[in-house]
Amino acid sequence: EADIYQTPRYLVIGTGKKITLECSQTMGHDKMYWYQQDPGMELHLIHYSYGVNSTEKGDLSSESTVSRIRTEHFPLTLESARPSHTSQYLCASSGIGRDRVYNEQFFGPGTRLTVL
């Protein structure tokens, strides 16, 4: 059982609302990721972080922003939600291996977001 948590698990909100999806891990991993995934489809990397005060955009353009003030916490914020943001958001973390290459990722259970 991976020690990575996401809240809320489900969220239904109206257009224009500001929301923050929470992600926390207790494994001391320095690297964390956010993915967006539509049901039954591929994962798209939207943000990742090498460590505290470090954030990078992923392959998929996203209107969301992230912050990394503490190692264990990597929240994702949407300033103004739209129906096109309806999707599942998955958070993951990984730690560096002996060969200095990141090895397996541990995933949280996901947040399913619906914007009406």
In this chain, which of 12, 41, 52, 116 binds other proteins, going by CB under 8 A?
41
Length of the chain: 116
The interface mask with other proteins, positions 82-111, x = CB under 8 A, is: ------x-x-x-x----x-xxxxxxxxxx-
Q: CA 87, CA 102: separation in Å to the nearest integer?
A: 27
In this chain, which of 45, 55, 65, 71 binds other proteins, going by CB under 8 A?
45
**Does 70 contact other proteins by CB under 8 A?**
no
Q: Are 6 and 110 in contact (CB under 8 A)?
A: yes
**Close Cβ partners of 41 (under 8 Å, ≥ 6 residues apart):** none
The one-letter amino acid code at 60 reads: L
Positions touching other proteins (CB under 8 A) are: 2, 31, 33, 39-43, 45, 48, 50, 58-59, 88, 90, 92, 94, 99, 101-110, 112
